[in-house]
């Protein structure tokens, strides 16, 4: 491949699972699409609920601080720290575990509602 050519999907983020799960919440009227840090996200009555991390497509969801700490301590999640500032009520969940993401988004929905 010539050095100036790049594959069509290079730089694309795998956020399909997030938006599949989000579509169900939006269709049920439980959440709405919004913007946060120039990225698409889910909001509940104006409050941030979740988004696909813009570089990786990982789930980022708002949960109680102690729950975030537990997920990070268990190795399930990562501290969410854009620009090196840790958001204590947000956790980044790597991987693509549909059941886990669905459960955490429902948990987040209960937290922000």
Q: What is the DSSP letter of 82?
A: G
Domains by residue range for the chain, with CATH? 16-112 (3.90.1150)
pLDDT band at 17 (very low <50, low <70, confident <90, very high): very high
pTM of the full structure: 0.87
pLDDT at 5 over 60: no
The dihedral over CA atoms of 26, 103, 113, 85, expressed in degrees to the nearest 10, equals -100
The proportion of the chain whose per-residue pLDDT surpasses 70, expressed as a percent, equals 90
Q: How far apart are CA 40 and CA 50, in angstroms?
A: 9
Q: Which of 71, 66, 65 is nearest to 104 (CA)?
A: 71
């Amino acid at each position: 491949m010539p050095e100036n050519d790049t594959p069509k999907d290079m730089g694309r983020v795998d956020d399909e699972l997030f938006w599949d799960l989000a579509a169900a919440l939006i269709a049920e009227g439980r959440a709405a699409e919004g913007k946060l840090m120039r990225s698409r996200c889910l909001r509940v009555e104006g409050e941030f609920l979740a988004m696909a991390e813009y570089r990786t497509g990982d789930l980022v969801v708002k949960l109680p601080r102690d729950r975030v700490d537990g997920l990070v301590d268990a190795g399930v999640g990562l501290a969410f720290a854009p620009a090196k500032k840790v958001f204590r009520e947000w956790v980044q969940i790597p991987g693509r575990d549909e059941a886990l993401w669905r459960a955490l988004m429902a948990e987040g929905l209960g937290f922000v509602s």
